[in-house]
Structure 1
Amino acid sequence: MIECIDENGYFRAELHEVAAYFNRSAEEIYEYLKLLQGLEPAGIGARHLQECLLLQLRRFEKRHALAEEIVEKHFQSFAEKKWKDVAKALNVKLNEIQEVFDLIQTLDPRPASSFQNEKSAYIVPDVVIKWDGESFTVSIFDETLPKISFNSAYYKRFSSNQDKQVHRFIQENQQDYQWIMRSLEQRKETLTKVSLKIVEKQRDFFVKGPANLRPMTMKEIADELEIHESTVSRAVREKYAQTPFGTFELRSFFSSTIKTTSDENTSSKQVKTMIHQLIAEENKQKPLSDQEIVHLLKEKEGMVVSRRTIAKYRDQLGILSSSKRKRYE
């Protein structure tokens, strides 16, 4: 049964299947599961998140009866922040539900995660962009690419061979080598041109910081470089740039245009930055609605954005709706 524990600590087998496999009763297997759930760390052996949290709550030296009841009997409503329904059902105040929520936040939804020893994945930038206060330098870091070499001695030895198959094999491989080298050079050249154009168009970003990213599309770059938009897309796909403000995916420098009240344009990323800032500074007891954010962006920043767009950007930022952000103190 221990072998049925996944990397997060959850029991990933059906009790009746385990019982059938070992020719034991389901009741006996359930007793073994409870034994397993009594091990450290608390929450190990749970079959789902609800059970995982409940197992941890029951390990507390000072038991929290309300928290246990909420997780055991009202978990779905609690998770969806339908707290008024939960408070009414249990005849408690909303601030008590808030206290339970804060307590649940301290629990570990992945109790076995600390045992994982996966190696950290580090991003190696493809482009290095530096600013010395006066000018930019853009260099392509291609050390991570596999090194390709051509065995000239082998080629010379067999190129004069009279056997037609050998001669054809040698010629085809020489042509393949030249094609690969041309492709790599073309890739490097395209990436360099696109990177230089990004620096040219996004100068304020590289000098002042991410908050100064301006609207820019791949088509705009493609038109100026006189190449196809798909070429730009392929050039920046899964590529990263090391900048004075950290390492960024090259795709992140492209964003849609948002109109402003002053007839100038701003980028969707700037709008997202402002949404994040407004929500971070809001009164959590009276969180801002999407419509209120629309009004504040227009009034304070001159950004003209619809309520639906605010909701979409908020979702992309992983920010909950106002009703789910509300705190009851």
Structure 2
Amino acid sequence: MKLRTQTSATLKAKLSSTLKSWLPILQSGMGELEETLNSFGVENPYFEVKSGIANSLSAESAAHKKRHQERIRGAKGGNVEGDGIEQFCIQEESLEEVLLRQIEPPLFPTKNSQEIAKKIIESLDDEGYFDGDCETIANVCSKELETNISATEVERIRLRFSYLEPPGIGALNVIESFRFQLDNLDVPSDVYGLCLEILEDLEGHTKFKKNPLYPKAMRAIQSFKNPPALDFFQKEVAVIPDILVLEDKDDIQVQINDKYYPSILIQKQEKNEKNSVKDAFIKTKIKEARDLVDALEMRKATLCKIGLMIVNYQYEFFKGGEIKPMTLKDLAEDLDHSPSTISRAISNKYLECGRGIFPLKNFFATAIDEETSNTAIKDFVAELIRNENKQKPLSDSKILKLATEKFKVTMVRRTIAKYRAQLNIASSSDRKKLYKIQVED
């Protein structure tokens, strides 16, 4: 009994010291993991973090380098979609950074015009449209600049955005954005004129079909970006999954993606009989390094358990079905951890399976009721719109009716509008305009 008590106390002490580093290591995503480990080494010279990502990417980069260079040489305009490795390593400018760089003379020659332009940038929505109010911006700028700024002046500054990159940014709506983009397009004056006429009645563009310039005009209009900030939407950059779900016939296996994991190299301890204080210091630091190794293994074990539980709960999803309601509390109870710990564990982590790469948080959809998740409803909305009649796009009210009938839940129309916005899907009226500009083959 005494031996068992001593063993239990020793194990508890070891776990306690390991847990100090386990939580921050658990919380870090794969891309941050090495930085987190290195932060523990600031005051510990007796271990070294060997990069798993750098080694793996370096090996893959050598295989892809030649092909990537050929793509660059052959690309027109220098706008090249790099492969996963280059995307992982290159940081792109945000839309705000690109626009702020252009707020300068001669287009914005005064301090007032520049400050107004910056306020307009702050009022752009995620799609790049102006979602602010000129009167409000005028009042704010008047106070900050201690001068009288009118709403008319703000509007005049906004219209100068038609000369900025990306073209179409800062417009009030799709049609104005297309006009902005048309002004940036190098087309003959007669084609330009026809484009303007078509944009005046975009839904009735077919009435211009007899015009011999109609095909050129429509090709120009179809080249426009909609929404204007399309190129700045968050891209699917190369992510490194922590968990791999492998399927072999009816068997599903869960593995940790060890390939990209960093490793910790610990220096060998040499006894220093002449300096017991230094020897004790080295011993302490080496123990801390070993605790990090244990914490790293605990991270793997915890994520592996989470992967197993996700496969257990979401088995139908991995077989082609929908994600079912699953809460952090469900997993926390099964793993004997608090929901906050599980929340840390799934933050910035990804799972790869036969259906693609998914953030772990996707498997913990908020439940609308006990049988339905918001993810299932969003998927249903996306599928409805994907297959809708292009002549009569579905309104949010109609989608709401179909969703409530299918899922037997109570919702309001603004819930559908919110889900549609999260899916980057335009309203039914805007979709109808977009469908109209598609030229029939």
TM-score with structure 1 setting the length:
0.68
On the 8 A contact 1:237/1:251 being kept in 2, the answer is: yes
Instruction: Give the secondary structure class of the aligned counterpart of 1:291.
Output: helix
Q: In structure 1, what is the equivalent of residue 297 of structure 2? A: 185
Q: Deviations over 1:162-200 (max 9, x none)?
A: 324422430221121122012111111111111111111
Asked if 1:107 is matched to 2:224, the reply is: yes
Q: In structure 1, what is the equivalent of residue 325 of structure 2? A: 215
Q: In structure 1, what is the equivalent of residue 347 of structure 2? A: 237
Asked if 1:269 is matched to 2:379, the reply is: no
Q: From the superposition, tell whether residues 273 and 303 of structure 1 become closer, same or farther in structure 2 (CA, over 3 Å).
A: farther
Counterpart Cα distance in 2 of 1:189 and 1:271: 33
- Letter of the 1:277 partner, please give it: E
Task: State the shift of 1:106 in Å.
Answer: 0.8
- Letter of the 1:135 partner, please give it: D
Q: In structure 1, what is the equivalent of residue 211 of structure 2? A: none
Instruction: Give the secondary structure class of the aligned counterpart of 1:104.
Output: helix
Query: Which of the residues 415, 418, 422 maps onto 1:316?
Result: 422
Asked if 1:174 is matched to 2:290, the reply is: no
Q: In structure 2, what is the equivalent of residue 200 of structure 1? A: 312
Task: State the shift of 1:46 in Å.
Answer: 4.2
Q: In structure 2, what is the equivalent of residue 151 of structure 1? A: 267
Q: Deviations over 1:262-318 (max 9, x none)?
A: xx6122111111101111222233222211111112234545432121111111001
Q: From the superposition, tell whether residues 93 and 176 of structure 1 become closer, same or farther in structure 2 (CA, over 3 Å).
A: closer
Instruction: Give the secondary structure class of the aligned counterpart of 2:351.
Output: strand
On the 8 A contact 1:297/1:304 being kept in 2, the answer is: no
Counterpart Cα distance in 2 of 1:98 and 1:172: 83
Q: How many residues are aligned here? A: 265
Counterpart Cα distance in 1 of 2:402 and 2:315: 28
Instruction: Give the secondary structure class of the aligned counterpart of 2:298.
Output: helix
Task: State the shift of 1:131 in Å.
Answer: 2.3
- Letter of the 1:95 partner, please give it: G
Counterpart Cα distance in 2 of 1:245 and 1:288: 28
Asked if 1:65 is matched to 2:224, the reply is: no
Query: Structure 2: which 5+ runs fail to align?
Result: 1-92, 111-161, 169-178, 209-216, 437-441
Counterpart Cα distance in 1 of 2:106 and 2:364: 53
Q: In structure 2, what is the equivalent of residue 125 of structure 1? A: 241
Higher relative contact order (CA 8 A, sep 6+): 2
Q: From the superposition, tell whether residues 125 and 60 of structure 1 become closer, same or farther in structure 2 (CA, over 3 Å).
A: farther
On the 8 A contact 2:372/2:407 being kept in 1, the answer is: no
Q: In structure 1, what is the equivalent of residue 367 of structure 2? A: 257
Measured on the aligned residues, the alpha-carbon RMSD in Å equals: 3.7
Task: State the shift of 1:126 in Å.
Answer: 1.4
Counterpart Cα distance in 2 of 1:292 and 1:203: 32
TM-score with structure 2 setting the length:
0.52
Task: State the shift of 1:247 in Å.
Answer: 1.8
On the 8 A contact 1:56/1:107 being kept in 2, the answer is: no
- State the identity as a percent: 33
On the 8 A contact 2:243/2:350 being kept in 1, the answer is: yes
Instruction: Give the secondary structure class of the aligned counterpart of 2:258.
Output: coil
Query: Which of the residues 231, 250, 275 maps onto 1:134?
Result: 250
Counterpart Cα distance in 2 of 1:297 and 1:192: 35
Q: In structure 2, what is the equivalent of residue 15 of structure 1? A: 105
Counterpart Cα distance in 2 of 1:93 and 1:59: 19
Instruction: Give the secondary structure class of the aligned counterpart of 1:136.
Output: strand
Counterpart Cα distance in 2 of 1:272 and 1:97: 34
Task: State the shift of 1:319 in Å.
Answer: 0.9
Q: In structure 1, what is the equivalent of residue 205 of structure 2? A: 96
